[in-house]
Homo-oligomer: A and B are copies of this chain.
Amino acid sequence: MYRRDRARLPAAERRRQIVEVTTRLIAERGFWGLSMQDVADGCGLTVPGLLHHVGSKDGLLVAVLDHRDEEDMRAVDEQAPGTLRETCAALVRRNAAQPEIVRLFAVLEAESLTPDHPAHKYFSERQKHTVEMLSELAAGESDDPGALARQIVALMDGLQLQWLRYPETVDLVSEWEQASARLFPTS
């Protein structure tokens, strides 16, 4: 017998919900530890119902990453180009406000180091893109802008890990301020 006690949502809205739930679960378990069942439960539908929207488990991951890209694009567009220091500070502030997302990326970034992970290419290109963008901004301020850009990214990633592990004792923004004072030539 066919039971329909649950809400039936328009595709766009359901997708939004799926992405949100999946984001949370990947942050907790990683992609390998993620199960379609858990996502379906979190959305209040069955596994085939979930698959109707995303096609496969890999499709689910693609949906999440695509959504993040769109959000990031919008955030970057809103922000005026500014200096290197300002851009970094803005980035850190943005991240400090969404720990769930940062954790998603931290877990997925490490997991996807191996080339056969479905998000491997995505994260390699993302990293390359970020370093290039920061390099351009650093062009005036350093004689090796590439190295500085890599160090900035490294420091951010590392501080984020510490912040995520000890959220109550480590404050991401102030930690970054201290670090950037040491990283950038004193002004």
Question: What mask results when residues 156 to 176 of chain A are scored 1 for a CB within 8 Å of chain B, else 0?
Answer: 111101101110001000010
Complex Cα distance, B181 from A151, in Å, reads: 11
Complex Cα distance, B179 from A151, in Å, reads: 6
Complex Cα distance, B151 from A158, in Å, reads: 8
Contact assessment for A151 and B155 in the assembled complex, using a CB-CB cutoff below 8 Å: yes
Q: Answer whether A111 and B114 are a contact pair too, CB < 8 Å, given A154-B154, A161-B154.
A: no
Question: What mask results when residues 15 to 53 of chain A are scored 1 for a CB within 8 Å of chain B, else 0?
Answer: 000000000000111101100000000000000000000
Residues of chain B within 8 A of A109, CB atoms compared: 110, 161
A178: nearest residue on chain B (CB-CB)? Answer: B147
Contact assessment for A157 and B151 in the assembled complex, using a CB-CB cutoff below 8 Å: no
Is A63 part of the binding interface, using a Cβ–Cβ cutoff of 8 Å?
no
Is A72 part of the binding interface, using a Cβ–Cβ cutoff of 8 Å?
no
Q: Kindly identify, within residues 98 to 123 of chain A, every residue whose CB is under 8 Å from any CB belonging to chain B.
A: 103, 106-107, 109-111, 113-114, 123
Contact assessment for A110 and B113 in the assembled complex, using a CB-CB cutoff below 8 Å: no
The CB with the most chain B CB atoms within 10 A, among A28, A155, A175, is that of A155
Question: What mask results when residues 108 to 148 of chain A are scored 1 for a CB within 8 Å of chain B, else 0?
Answer: 01110110000000011001000000000000000010011
Contact of A157 among B27, B28, B158 (CB under 8 A): B158
Is A88 part of the binding interface, using a Cβ–Cβ cutoff of 8 Å?
no
Complex Cα distance, B33 from A107, in Å, reads: 13
Is A65 part of the binding interface, using a Cβ–Cβ cutoff of 8 Å?
no
A170: nearest residue on chain B (CB-CB)? Answer: B150
Contact assessment for B162 and A150 in the assembled complex, using a CB-CB cutoff below 8 Å: yes
Residues of chain B within 8 A of A106, CB atoms compared: 110, 113
A-B contact pairs, 10 of them (CB 8 A): A28-B114, A107-B111, A109-B161, A127-B162, A144-B178, A147-B175, A150-B162, A150-B175, A154-B159, A155-B155
